[in-house]
A and B are shown apart, each in its own frame.
Chain A
Amino acid sequence: MRKLIEVMKLFYRVNISYEIRTGAIVKLLLRCLFLLLFITGIAILAFMPNISWISGEELYFYILLFFLSISQYISHFVKNEFNYFYINRFPLKFHEALLLRLVYRNLDITSIACNIIGLIILSIKFAMTFSLLANFLVYILCIQILTEILNISGTKLYKNKKLYILFISLFLILIITFAKLRLFLPNYLLYSIRQQSYGNILGLIGTALLLVGIYKLVYTMDFRLKPGKGFSLNFSFVFELLIKRLAFIDKPLRYLIAKDFILMLRTKKHVFVYCFLLSLTFFSNDVGAENSIFYNLLIAFPVQVCINSFSLDNKGVISIFQTNVNRRNVFLAKNIVSGLLIILLYILFSLIFLIMGGTTFINASKLFLFIIPALFFLLPLCNYLSVTFPLKEGNSGGALFGTINIKSILIYTVISILVLTVFTVLTYFYQNQIFIPFLIVSTGLGYLFYQKSLDKVVKKLNDKEKKIITKLLFSRG
């Protein structure tokens, strides 16, 4: 225990002194300002009278998701990324390493404050949904603990195949007993199961296990089996073949799309977005889950992927800048891949909801149609951010310190407000006949906006190319 405390103190000392050295006090203040702004906003939302076209539960969900997205975003500002290679320098036992990793990763002050204050306000306002909140926390905790266990057991120091096999077996049992049962049970049975809080929690644990397990398996296999003499499944190869067939797309663009798609699939963190989204299936009958997914896709996903679009390339970005590839194609490819993934995910989750009876086909379709104009407006903003404030990623997938900029915060806030507005408008138009004309007009306007923005962002990229390369290749953060 003494050793553990010492190591933790060391990590904190390193981080705090690093923040002070790099003038991070201003940045910390900015983080607090950001936090205050959202707490105020959330308090206003939480205590205002109920609005007829939006239910309390829906509002609760959007607010909760908003908080989760923000805490994720805030974590991009600080170098609190736990580098587990450091752990290997110390003779720590498995449980010590696990505890250290868990504590260290979840002790970002602003993220904690953001979540706790938000959740307290929400619990006061929506006391009835408190059990939902508890279940959700159980789910998050499960994901965190299990991922850490598997991450540490996967390192050279703690490699333990038996533990892996044990977990995988557990996943399989839980898939069959809980997750699968819940997914295919008729609605009335599902409802009765939901009334039992134990069932709920077990189901959540099952899903968490299932998702982390699938993820780890897939990640370990790198989406493919090793090529053999006989038949072998090769995901990248299949995708490349598919893309190559699309002869009407410019060849470099096809390759850019293929590369981005593969990079995105092989980047760890996206699995958490999928896990989170899939977890919503458990609440689908209680709230407008398809709306929540839409919201999360358009907030969390762009924040994680699009804003940081060059970070996926990271060191490899030099390859693009050294060739004569059209820069417009680079953005186009990144946007096509992001957009396609958002659309694919939406379809996947909508199907799950439809099977569970959580939504109607018409509602799901309406929302699906709304994603296209929303993307046309959101992707240009994300492109702009990725060029203006490129973020560099560490080995473990988190952005490194030193990327904060007040303009970046403001633009992100604009994006958030825009998405909230879009969402509000969308919810309003659900009740009206003018949904289709509204959709057509906004798609048209969005397309024009996107086209115009593409030229501008390419110009900006050309101007800032050296800065971006320096940031991604040479800077410490």
Chain B
Amino acid sequence: MSQVILEVTNLSKSYEDIHVLKSISFNVEKGKCFGVLGPNGAGKTTLFSIISGILNKNEGEISINGKSISHEAQLKHGKIGILFNDIGIYEKLTASEFLRFLGVMYDLPEERLEERIRYISNILKLDLSNRTLIEKYSTGMKKKIAFAAAVIHSPDLLLLDEPFESVDAIVTHNIKELIRSYIKEGGTILIASHILQIIEEICDDFIIIDKGKVLLKSNVKELNGINLEQYFVDIISHQEVADEKTY
């Protein structure tokens, strides 16, 4: 049986009287790519923020490698890498300055850091000799840099929140390539996206969430040729009808 790296149990979060996450549970196995699908406002970013330790949960348990996430040392010792949608970058640094800075903060030895930077920039086709500030780059380039920053310390678990949003086909291809090589090296990925074809292409397991609830847990192989997009739309519409009836 595969080792479970991330275990989320009955996770709930509310902002004042708005329930953003309602008792969410799922497990992510080591070496797999796990997709979190959901329409806008489903609670994906909140879920990722809580798993990454940025936000506090109200209820529930999250454990990584069997240890509770409230034991924050895990986060601080580089077990997790995060790519948020347009956050987490020092835009007034150059890409090279930012990656080197992060490497030192993660305690990477000099040779290892250089090796990582070379490797990642090669796959992502990042020109680090360029002295342009990150703020002057396009959204796609920023995304690439944020991705490089998320994997610079070779984390065990990588959280990717909408990594393919606002990027062109070439950047999408590069990111997919890095995801595949990361998985090949034994890394685990939790990815949120609403680009369903990509999820279908790179993920093993997935959940569909809407309005803070898990509507479905499944495996891409189990789809047996069913179009994921149609499947997703059907489930969400079905839920909306059910909600209306309840209301």
B-binding residues in A (CB < 8 A): 222, 224, 226-227, 234, 236, 240, 251-252, 255, 258-259, 262-263, 266-267, 313-316, 318-325, 466, 469-470, 473
- Residue contact A227 to B78, C-beta cutoff 8 Å: no
Which one of B29-37, B102-110, B167-175, B194-202 is at the interface?
Answer: B102-110
- Residue contact B104 to A222, C-beta cutoff 8 Å: no
Which one of B82-90, B181-189, B211-219, B220-228 is at the interface?
Answer: B82-90
- Residue contact B88 to A318, C-beta cutoff 8 Å: yes
A315 and B91 in contact, given A227-B129, A259-B101 (Cβ under 8 angstroms): yes
The docked-state distance in angstroms from the alpha carbon of A325 to that of B77 is: 9
Chain B 50-83 interface mask (CB, 8 Å, partner A; 1/0): 0011111000000000000000010111101010
- Residue contact A322 to B92, C-beta cutoff 8 Å: no
Shortest distance between the CB of B63 and any CB in chain A (Å): 18
Shortest distance between the CB of B67 and any CB in chain A (Å): 16
- Residue contact A325 to B105, C-beta cutoff 8 Å: yes
- Residue contact A316 to B131, C-beta cutoff 8 Å: no
Which of chain B's residues 40-55 have a Cβ closer than 8 Å to chain A?
52-55
A315 and B92 in contact, given A222-B131, A222-B133, A324-B77 (Cβ under 8 angstroms): no
Shortest distance between the CB of A280 and any CB in chain B (Å): 28
A266 and B131 in contact, given A255-B105, A259-B101, A316-B88 (Cβ under 8 angstroms): no
Q: Which residues of chain B come closer than 8 Å to A236, judged between CB atoms?
A: 94, 97, 131
Main secondary structure of the interface of A (DSSP, over half): helix
- Residue contact B92 to A262, C-beta cutoff 8 Å: yes
- Residue contact B80 to A322, C-beta cutoff 8 Å: yes
For A462, the closest partner residue in chain B by CB is B72
- Residue contact A313 to B105, C-beta cutoff 8 Å: no
The docked-state distance in angstroms from the alpha carbon of A224 to that of B73 is: 39
Q: Judge if B149 is at the interface, Cβ distance under 8 Å.
A: yes
In the A-B complex, the 4 residue pairs with the closest CB atoms: A316-B90, A323-B105, A324-B76, A318-B88
For B133, the closest partner residue in chain A by CB is A222
Q: Which residues of chain A come closer than 8 Å to B93, judged between CB atoms?
A: 259, 262-263, 316
The docked-state distance in angstroms from the alpha carbon of A466 to that of B73 is: 15
**What are 22 A-B pairs at a CB distance below 8 A?**
A222-B131, A234-B131, A259-B90, A259-B93, A262-B93, A263-B90, A313-B90, A315-B87, A315-B88, A315-B91, A316-B89, A316-B93, A318-B54, A319-B98, A323-B102, A323-B106, A324-B76, A324-B77, A325-B105, A466-B55, A469-B54, A473-B87
For B103, the closest partner residue in chain A by CB is A255
Chain B contact patch, size range: 35 or more
For B110, the closest partner residue in chain A by CB is A251
For A224, the closest partner residue in chain B by CB is B131
A267 and B105 in contact, given A234-B131, A323-B78 (Cβ under 8 angstroms): no
Q: Which residues of chain A come closer than 8 Å to B89, judged between CB atoms?
A: 315-316, 319
Q: Which residues of chain B come closer than 8 Å to A324, judged between CB atoms?
A: 73, 76-78, 105-107
Shortest distance between the CB of B54 and any CB in chain A (Å): 5
Q: Which residues of chain A come closer than 8 Å to B129, judged between CB atoms?
A: 227
Shortest distance between the CB of B176 and any CB in chain A (Å): 24
Q: Contact partner of A470 among B55, B82, B107, CB < 8 A? A: B55
Shortest distance between the CB of B89 and any CB in chain A (Å): 6
Shortest distance between the CB of A471 and any CB in chain B (Å): 12
Shortest distance between the CB of A254 and any CB in chain B (Å): 8
Q: Which residues of chain B come closer than 8 Å to A315, judged between CB atoms?
A: 86-91
For A467, the closest partner residue in chain B by CB is B56
- Residue contact B82 to A255, C-beta cutoff 8 Å: no
Q: Which residues of chain B come closer than 8 Å to A318, judged between CB atoms?
A: 54, 82, 84, 87-88
Which of chain B's residues 96-132 have a Cβ closer than 8 Å to chain A?
97-98, 100-102, 104-107, 129, 131
Q: Contact partner of A252 among B75, B88, B94, B105, CB < 8 A? A: B105
Q: Contact partner of A323 among B56, B76, B91, B98, CB < 8 A? A: B76
For A320, the closest partner residue in chain B by CB is B105
Shortest distance between the CB of A454 and any CB in chain B (Å): 19
Q: Which residues of chain B come closer than 8 Å to A466, judged between CB atoms?
A: 54-56
Q: Which of A222, A226, A263 has the largest number of chain B CB atoms within 10 A? A: A222
- Residue contact A263 to B92, C-beta cutoff 8 Å: yes
Shortest distance between the CB of A332 and any CB in chain B (Å): 14
The docked-state distance in angstroms from the alpha carbon of A318 to that of B101 is: 13
Shortest distance between the CB of A257 and any CB in chain B (Å): 11
For B150, the closest partner residue in chain A by CB is A322
Q: Which residues of chain A come closer than 8 Å to B84, judged between CB atoms?
A: 318
- Residue contact B97 to A262, C-beta cutoff 8 Å: yes
Shortest distance between the CB of B239 and any CB in chain A (Å): 26
The docked-state distance in angstroms from the alpha carbon of A320 to that of B105 is: 7
For B155, the closest partner residue in chain A by CB is A322
Shortest distance between the CB of B61 and any CB in chain A (Å): 18
Shortest distance between the CB of B113 and any CB in chain A (Å): 11
The docked-state distance in angstroms from the alpha carbon of A236 to that of B93 is: 9
The docked-state distance in angstroms from the alpha carbon of A17 to that of B92 is: 33
Q: Which residues of chain B come closer than 8 Å to A251, judged between CB atoms?
A: 104
Which of chain B's residues 120-152 have a Cβ closer than 8 Å to chain A?
129, 131, 133, 149
A255 and B54 in contact, given A263-B93, A316-B89, A319-B90 (Cβ under 8 angstroms): no
Shortest distance between the CB of A475 and any CB in chain B (Å): 11
Q: Which residues of chain A come closer than 8 Å to B87, judged between CB atoms?
A: 315, 318, 473
**Given A234-B131, A318-B54, 4 other A-B contacts at CB below 8 A?**
A251-B104, A252-B107, A259-B97, A315-B87
For A264, the closest partner residue in chain B by CB is B92
For A265, the closest partner residue in chain B by CB is B92
Q: Which residues of chain B come closer than 8 Å to A325, judged between CB atoms?
A: 105
Q: Which residues of chain B come closer than 8 Å to A255, judged between CB atoms?
A: 100-101, 104-105
The docked-state distance in angstroms from the alpha carbon of A315 to that of B134 is: 12
Q: Which residues of chain A come closer than 8 Å to B133, judged between CB atoms?
A: 222, 266
The docked-state distance in angstroms from the alpha carbon of A251 to that of B100 is: 12
Q: Which residues of chain B come closer than 8 Å to A470, judged between CB atoms?
A: 54-55
For B54, the closest partner residue in chain A by CB is A469
Shortest distance between the CB of B74 and any CB in chain A (Å): 10
- Residue contact A227 to B131, C-beta cutoff 8 Å: yes
The docked-state distance in angstroms from the alpha carbon of A252 to that of B104 is: 6
